[in-house]
Structure 1
C-alpha cells in the first residue's frame, strides 16, 4: 500500500459524497423547473431571490472559510496553550452575531437588493422577488453556521461528513417542489396563491436549515459542544480580518461579476435568469466531481513540498494534476458542446417548463463547455499559490479575471440581445477564464522557475485532438439519428446514449493511438483508490 493510499481512499469517499450531493441537487433543480416552469417569470423571480443569500454570504464570509477559518482552528488545536473547543465556540458565536445582524439588514433592504441585481424585472416579478428574498435571507445565517461547523469537523480530520450535508437540503427542497406540484402549483406568476408562496419560501429556507442541522449533529458526535458565548472576544478578530482581507477582495470581485451578469440576463427576456443559472450549475458539476477528485491525491503532496520549499516537487505535482484533469475533462467538455440542448431537454422539458427555454439552456451549456478545461486549469493553478501561503496573488488575478468577464459581458450586450445575449455571456466567461489561465501560468512560471510547459502542451494538444475526433463522431451520430428518433425524451435519451458510446470509444481509441499515458494513469488511480 502506498503512502498516498489513505488519501486516495478519502478522495474517493469525498468524490462519492460530492457525486450524491450533486445528483440530488440536479434532481432538485429538475423538479423545481418542472414545478415552476423553465422560461416563466415565476422561476426567474424564485431563482433571483434564491441565489441572492448565497452571493451575500460569499461576500461577507464564504471566501474566508477555507483560507482563514480552517487554518485558525487547526492551529488552535495544535497549540497546547489554547482551549480549542473554547476558541471554536467563540468563533461560532462571532459568526452567529455577525451574520444575524446581516440578516436583519438584508431583510429590510430587500427591495434595494432586488433592484440592484435584477432591474429588468416587471413590477409583479419584482414584488414576488422581494417577498421571496425576505424569506430567503435567513439562509445567510444558516450557511455561515454550517460552514463554521464544517470547518470544525475538517480541523478534526472529519472531511467526508460535511460533504453529505447538502443532500438533506436537496431532499427537502425536492419534496417542497413535489408538494407544490401535487397541490396544483402553476408556473404562472399571477396564479400563485399565498399558501403556495409560503410553501416555496419556507421549504427552500428549511432545506438550508436542515443542512446546518446535519452539521450540528455531526459536530456534536465528533465531541464539539455547541455553545454560544455572550462575549466572543479572545480570538484575535483583527487578525482574522487581516488574514481574510485578500480572500474577501477576491470574492467581492466575483460578486460584482454575478451582479453584472444577473442584471444583463434579467434584461434578456422572460426566463433568462433561470436559464443562465441552471446552465452554470450544470457546468460546475464536472469540475466538482472530476477535477476536485483528481487533485485530492495531488494537493497534499503539493502542500508538503511547499512547506519544504521543494519547488521541483510542486512543479511535478502541478503538472500531473493539470494533465490528469485535462484528460478527464476533455471528453466531458466535448459532450456538453455537442449534446447540450439534448441533455437539457431531457432534464428540464417537463411539467410547466417551456421547451424553448430548455433548449436555450442547452445552448448556454454548450457555450460553457468551451470554458470547462480553462476553468479547471485556472482553479488548480490558484491552489498552488495558496499552498505557498500567498493569498495576495490569486486575489489580484481573480480581480483581473472578473474585470475581463465584466468588460466582455458589457461589450457583448451591445451586439447581442434576447436569448443570444445569454449564450454570449457564457462565452465571455470562457474567454475570461482562458485569459486567467494564461496569466496565472506566467506568474507561476516566475515563482517556480518552470511549469513543465512542453509536457503540458504535448498532453493538452493530444487530448484536445482526441476530444475533437470524439465530438465529431458524436455529432455525426446525433445528426444521423435525430430525424428518425425525434427530440422527445425517449428519442433524446437514445441519441445521447448512442452518441456518448461512440464518442467515448473514439476518445479511448484515439488516446491509445496518440499514446496519452495519463488516461491509463487516471484509470489506475481510480481503481486503486
Structure 2
C-alpha cells in the first residue's frame, strides 16, 4: 500500500510540476485554474467525503459479517444511492457556479472571475467521479483489497500530465489574456477526464474482484435513515472544515498575485508524507479495528492504535524536521522551471516550512478519529472536528490581521499546526475515556526519542545547507546539491541516533522493507 501511495504521490507531483510549468507559478491563470479545481473537491467533501471515510468501510465490514443480510444486494443499492444523489448535486452546483466562485475567491478581478466560472462548470462533474471512486474503494477495502484503490489515482495524474503537455505543445502560456477557448476546454475537460479515468480503473478492479456492478433503483433495505444519521454528524464536521477552508482561501486570494497557487502547492507538498505513511496506516487499520470493535476487543483496538501512531511518527518526525530546514530549497528545485516565478517558488518553500510542525499532530489526529469511526461513533469526532475548524478559523483571521501581504500565506500555514495540535490533545482524551487506555506513556517515550533523533539530524542538515549554499547558488541546480547533501547527512544521523536511543519502531519498519521489495 505504501509503495502504491508513493507512486501515486510521485505522479501527483509530476502532475503539479507539469501544471506549474504550463500555467506558471505566480500567474493569474494558475491561480484561477487552482481555485476552480478546488471547488469539486470541496463540494464532494461537504456532501460525501467525510461519510466515505467514517461510515462506508465500517458499515460494509459489519454487513459482510452479518449472515442475515444479502451483502451483495445491500452494496449495490448503496452504490446506486451514491450515484443518484451526487448526480443531482452536480446539476445544482453547475447552475450555482457563479455564486460559488464569488463566495470562494472574492479577490479575483472580473476577467479572472469569468474564467473561474467557465473552469468550475466543467470541473463539477468530478464530484460524481470522486463519489463513485470512494464507494468502489470502500467495497474493495471491505473485501480486503487495499492496494488497488491507492494505484487508481495514477491514472488521474497521467491524464492531467498529458493535458498539461498538450497545452504547452498547442502554444499555451501562463498569460490569461492569450488563453483561447480551445485551450480553456483542453485544460478543463482534460482535468475532469483524469478523475473519470481513476473511477474507471476502480470499476474494472471491482468487477474483477467478483462484485457485479449493477444499479438498483430501490434503496430500501440499506437503512438509509441510519446511514443518514451516522453521516449527519460527519457532514456537520465537514461543513465546519469547508467553512474554515473557504475563509482561508478568501484570505489567501487577497494576499497578492499568485498567492492562491503558492498556498495550494505548499499544502500539496505537506500532504505527501502524510498520504504515503499515515493514509496507508489508516487504510489498513480501519477494517481491522472495525472487526475488533465489533467483537468488543478493546485491548486489540488500543494495541493497533499505539502501533499505528508509533510507526507513523518514526517516519513523519524526521520528515517534518527536513521540511523546516529545506523547504525553500525543495520548492525551488521542484517549481522554478518554465513559466514559474523563482520568487513564488521560494515563497512556496517558506509556506511549506511553516506547515511542517503540523505534520505529526495532523497525522495523529486523523488516526485517532478513525478509532471513533471503527467504534461506530461519528458524533464525537464531528464535535472535535468542529472545534478544530473553529480554532483554525479564529487563528487564521488573527494571523491575516497581523501579517498582511505575502507574509499572510506563511502565517496561515502556521495556524494549521496550532489547530491540529489542539485536535490531537482533545481526541486523545476522548479516546482514553472511551476505550480505557491509549498506551500514552509508551507513545510519549517513543515520540520524545524520535524528536531528539530528528533534532540532531535536522541541526546537522541545516549546517550542511548553510555551508554548501553560498558555493552552489540559489537556483534549481544548487538547490538539488543542497537537498541531496543535507538529506543524506540528516538521514544517516537520524538512523544512528535512532539506534543509540533504541527506537524500536525504526527497526520494525526497516525490517519489513526487504519483504516489500521481494513482493514487488
TM-score range, shorter chain: over 0.9
Instruction: Report the CA distance between 1:294 and its aligned residue.
Output: 4.7
Q: Distance in 1 between matches of 2:417 and 2:148?
A: 33
Residues 371-399 of structure 1 show CA distances to partners (whole Å, capped at 9, x for unaligned) of: 11111111122222223222211111111
CA separation of 1:272 and 1:517: change in aligned 2, threshold 3 A = same
Q: TM-score, normalised by structure 2?
A: 0.94
Deviation, structure 1 residue 181: 0.8
What is residue 375 of structure 2 aligned with on the other side? 388
Query: Residue 299 of structure 1 contacts residue 317 of structure 1 at CA under 8 Å; is this kept in 2?
Result: no
CA apart distance, 1:124: 1.0
Q: 2: CA distance between counterparts of 1:479 and 1:118?
A: 38
User: Secondary structure of the residue that 2:238 maps to in structure 1?
Assistant: helix
Q: Aligned match of 2:263 in 276, 281, 288?
A: 276
Instruction: Give me the whole-angstrom Cα distance separating, in 2, the residues matched to 1:274 and 1:511.
Output: 37
Change (3 A) 1:309 1:87: closer
Residue segments in structure 2 that go unaligned for 5+ positions in a row: none
Tell me, yes or no, if structure 1 residue 217 matches structure 2 residue 204. yes
Aligned to 1:194: 181
Is contact 2:290-2:375 (8 Å) kept?
yes
CA contact (8 A) 2:18 2:164 kept: yes
Aligned residue in 2 for 1:507 = 494
Is 1:61 the counterpart of 2:61 in the alignment?
no
**Structure 1 segment 17-166 matched on structure 2, within 5 A:** 17-166=4-153
Once the two structures are TM-superposed, the CA of residue 449 in structure 1 deviates from its matched residue by 3.4
Give the secondary-structure state (helix, strand or coil) at the position aligned to 1:389: coil
Distance 1:273 1:302, change over 3 A: same
Q: Secondary structure at the match of 1:146?
A: helix
Deviation at 1:132, TM superposition (A): 0.2
Residue 343 of structure 2 is aligned to residue 356 of structure 1: yes
Comparing 458-467 with 311-320, greater Cα deviation is found at 311-320
- Structure 1 unmatched ranges of 5 or more: 1-13
Residues 404-423 of structure 1 show CA distances to partners (whole Å, capped at 9, x for unaligned) of 00000011111011221101
2:305 matched to which residue of 1?
Answer: 318
Equivalent position of 2:472 in the other structure: 485
Q: What RMSD in Å do the two structures reach over aligned CA positions?
A: 1.9
- Contact 1:405 / 1:428 at 8 angstroms: preserved in 2? yes
Match of 1:204 among 191, 200, 210: 191
Aligned to 2:324: 337
Query: d(CA) in 2 for partners of 1:451 and 1:168?
Result: 39
2:364 matched to which residue of 1? 377
State the shift of 1:430 in Å.
0.7
1:120-176 alpha-carbon deviations (Å, 9 max, x no partner):
111111111011000111111111122222223233332222221111110000000
Within a 5 Å distance, the mapping from 1:223-242 to structure 2 comes to 223-242=210-229
Please list the CA deviations of residues 201-245 of structure 1 after superposition, one character each: whole Å capped at 9, or x if unmatched. Answer: 110011111111112222222333333344444433222211211
Paired with 2:72 and 2:283, the residues of 1 have a C-alpha distance of 28
Are residues 75 and 503 of structure 1, via their aligned partners in 2, closer, same or farther at CA, if it must alter by over 3 Å?
closer
- The Cα shift of 1:17 comes to 1.2
- Which SS does the other structure have where 1:371 is aligned? helix
Give the drift of 1:82.
4.1
Structure 1 residues 195 and 70, CA, compared in 2 at 3 Å: closer, same or farther? Answer: same
Tell me if the contact between 2:29 and 2:174 (Cα under 8 Å) persists in the aligned partners.
yes
The answer to whether residue 172 in structure 2 is matched with residue 185 in structure 1 is yes
Corresponding residue for 2:398? Answer: 411
Deviation at 1:341, TM superposition (A): 0.7
Whether contact under 8 Å (2:460, 2:490) holds in the other structure is: yes
Q: Secondary structure at the match of 1:185?
A: coil
Q: C-alpha distance in 1, partners of 2:266/2:157?
A: 18
- Deviation string 1:508-529 (CA, Å, 9 cap, x unpaired) is 2222222323222222244455
Query: SS of 1:351's equivalent?
Result: coil
Partners of 2:146 and 2:284 within 8 A in 1: no
1:398 to 385, 389, 414: 385
CA distance in 2, matches of 1:483, 1:353: 23
1:257-283 deviation per Cα after TM superposition (whole angstroms, max 9, x unaligned): 211111111111111111111111111
Does 148-157 or 420-429 show the bigger shift? Answer: 148-157
Contact 1:375 1:437 in 2 (8 A): yes
Conservation of the 8 A alpha-carbon contact between 2:58 and 2:376: no
1:232-311 equivalence runs, <5 A: 232-294=219-281, 302-311=289-298
Supply the distance in 2 between the matched residues of 1:358 and 1:459 (Cα, whole angstroms).
Answer: 35
1:5 — aligned with what?
A: none
Equivalent pairs counted in the alignment come to 516
180 and 256 in structure 1: CA distance in 2 versus 1, 3 angstrom threshold:
same
